[in-house]
Amino acid sequence: MSKVYEYTTDDVVEETGNYTCESGTTRTLEKGSKFPSCPDTEVVTYWKRSESLTHSSGQEVLTSGRYVDEDGDEAFLEAGSNFPNCPKAGTPTIWSHAG
Average pLDDT over residues 23-47: 93
Contacts of 74 (CB under 8 A, 6+ apart): 66, 67, 68, 98
pLDDT score of 99: 60
Confidence of residue 98 (pLDDT cuts 50, 70, 90): confident
Separation CA 87–CA 67 (nearest Å): 12
Task: Give CA–CA dist 77/95, Å, rounded.
Answer: 11
Is 77 strand, coil or helix? strand
Determine the pLDDT at residue 17: 84
Average pLDDT of the chain to the nearest whole number: 89
pLDDT higher than threshold 50 for residue 36: yes
Q: Measure the CA–CA gap between 2 and 99, rounded to whole angstroms.
A: 7
